[in-house]
Amino acid sequence: MTPTSMSVASTLAAALLAAALSSAPARAGEDESLDQAMSIIAGTFRALKPEELHSVLPAESKVFVSLGPQRDDEGYYGREQVYFMLQKRFRGLSTRRFEIRRHPAEKPSPGGDRTRPVMCLGTWWYTHAGGADDETLVHFVLSSRNGKWSLVKIQEAR
């Protein structure tokens, strides 16, 4: 290889690397705020601290909530009411583990399309104050509003 061809090859390699690096954040960042919202939900259930959820609850609309085995309080609630409902649901429990993921049918939208709501599934393993272990599946629906993902549905599947 001649010095000129080495220079051309290294310039080409550098250009390809720069192009890949400059496009990588856009691809990785497409769902960054969605990942952050999912992380906040997970943190809320792991720590049993409903106040952590405040940043992903929409201020201007209500959230559908259906929690617990009886679902007596199922309905649409404002941000502050969701806090109290979760506080009530978390009472006397300790989380052993909580995992959240996109619903298996959900695929990242091409080009970062945020017009469709995203369904997520959370599996929550917890212990009652009396010592009995339990597990439940919680459905979450997130919707993009003003460039930010907001939680619009929390439904425990029993």
16-65 pLDDT, tens per residue?
Answer: 333 333 333 333 444 788 999 999 999 999 999 999 999 999 988 999 99
Give the C-alpha separation, 22 to 5, whole Å.
Answer: 25
The rounded distance, in Å, linking the Cα atoms of 78 and 95 is 25
Q: Quick one: tokens of 37?
A: 């919202």
Place of tokens 């399309």: 113
pLDDT one-digit tens code per residue, 92-102: 999 999 999 99
